[in-house]
Amino acid sequence: MPYRVGAKGSYGCSGYPALKVGTNEVMGCHDTRAQAAAQIYAINRSEGKIGKAMNEIKEGDFVMGATTEGLIHGMVEHIMTEGGVLGTPGTRYALESMPPENPAMSVRVYKEEDGGWEPTAYSIGMMYADAEKIDIEEHNMDAEETMKSYHSDNEDEDKWDNIRKECWVGYEQQGMKEKNGRMVPNCVPVKKSDDIDKAKKPNYDEMIKPRRGGSTPANPRLYARIQREAKDKFDVYPSAVANGWVVQEYKRRGGTYKSDGIEAEKREFSTASRERMAEAGTAMPDGSFPIANANDLRNAIQSVGRAKNYEAAKRHIIRRARALGMTDMLPEDWRNSTKKGGDWAGSVFDLNPFVK
């Protein structure tokens, strides 16, 4: 049975309802039209109405799929096979990874320009189950055709009540246009600008400054209860929209997250070994941030935001990177304090697994 997006504030929703045509059964309520469309896309995929059977997706593959920002196209940069939460916990963009069946993925957003596809500066979370593998060289996206299944069949509703409709990532709206008696957004590819080309590189130092929490719920019983509620609340679960609701609802009820990185670090080093490393200068005086190899250095960079003394920990990490000859692993802002010049050649996932 087809689905449609209802008018804002209708059918008991304060935002936009995703409705089943014919019965007007509410499948979910959403803050934006794009989110409602994303749920409909996920439902249609689960019912086999969109695309062919999904092939195995791996990092480096091009995909299209539903996200919290609507339908996007892009390349898979990271598949969170280890579980946990992708993104900053407690935000609308956080996705709970559910490996092996439905892990969360970080996808580099691509936009269509001059007959081809170009990467943007943005990444976004997408659930494996919401993604469809595509051939980016042969894939063509018609803005009107892609979005037409998400219009309601109520002409007045489309023409007036939902006059403001957002375009998906990589496209921008330039006014409205009429098609078949309906007002639809005139979505065109975002064009490159000098401002974007000349934009400075991300400040990785700011990205890894102190933040609270990790990726594992500190109250697993509460989290599990909210997951069960989500299964009843949403027609498709897990999905990008449903997982975002779970994370926000868990935070609203007082849920917090453990610091997985620090706990893993403590499991790897005994008290005695920390003391020895502190005496040798390969760990801080209190035994924290022991760094003997590249893996230790990477772990230290990822968890420095939770250090008791951030600046002291940062100096220690830089000092150990110099000693190991691995200053190329440091964030660019840090490396500028160790040598002049040089371009950052690492991956953003080497610094912080929650960066988008």
pLDDT tens sequence across 77-104? 999 888 888 888 878 788 888 888 788 9
pLDDT tens digits, one per residue of 114-158:
777 888 888 899 988 888 888 877 655 444 444 444 444 444 444
191: Cβ contacts below 8 Å, ≥ 6 apart? 113
H or E segment to which residue 143 belongs: helix 143-148
Q: Where are the domains of the chain?
A: 259-350
When pLDDT is averaged across residues 13-23 and rounded to a whole number, the result is: 85
Look up residue 324 and give its two tokens. Answer: 């190991």
Residues 201-222: what's their mean pLDDT? Answer: 55
Is residue 34 a contact partner of residue 6, using CB atoms and an 8 Å limit? no
Whether 14 and 29 have beta carbons less than 8 Å apart is answered as yes
Residue 267's pLDDT band, with cuts at 50, 70 and 90, is very low
pLDDT of residue 316: 93
Residue 91 is predicted with a pLDDT of: 80
For residues 92 and 247, what is the distance between their CA atoms, to the nearest angstrom? 8
Query: For residue 76, is pLDDT > 90?
Result: yes
pTM score above 0.95: no
Q: Where are the beta strands (DSSP E) in 136-230?
A: 171-179, 182-189, 216-217
SS3 of 43, please?
helix
Cis peptide before 210 (omega within 30 of 0): no
Pick from 26-30, 89-93, 272-276 the range whose average pLDDT is largest. Answer: 26-30
Please give the residue that has the higher pLDDT: either 199 or 93.
93
Q: What is the mean pLDDT of residues 158-166?
A: 42
> Does 199 have pLDDT greater than 70?
no
The dihedral over CA atoms of 204, 68, 82, 295, expressed in degrees to the nearest 10, equals -10
Q: Read off the pLDDT of residues 219-264 as tens digits, 9 standing for 90 and up.
A: 888 888 898 888 888 877 777 777 778 888 888 887 777 654 444 4
H or E element: which one contains 118?
A: strand 116-127
User: Is the model's pLDDT at 37 over the cut of 60?
Assistant: yes
Encode burial over 101-131: b for 16+ CB neighbours within 10 A, e otherwise: ebbbbbbbbbbbeeeebeebebbbbbbbbbb
Q: What is the pLDDT of residues 297-329, one digit of tens each?
A: 888 888 887 788 888 999 999 999 888 888 888
Compute the residue count for the chain.
356
Could you tell me which of 63, 12, 64, 66 has the C-alpha nearest to residue 36? 66
**Strand ranges, E, within the chain:** 3-5, 16-20, 25-30, 62-67, 70-79, 84-86, 95-97, 104-113, 116-127, 131-133, 171-179, 182-189, 216-217, 257-258
CB 243 within 8 A of CB 95: yes
pLDDT for the residue numbered 48: 63
> Cα–Cα distance between 271 and 268 in angstroms, integer?
10
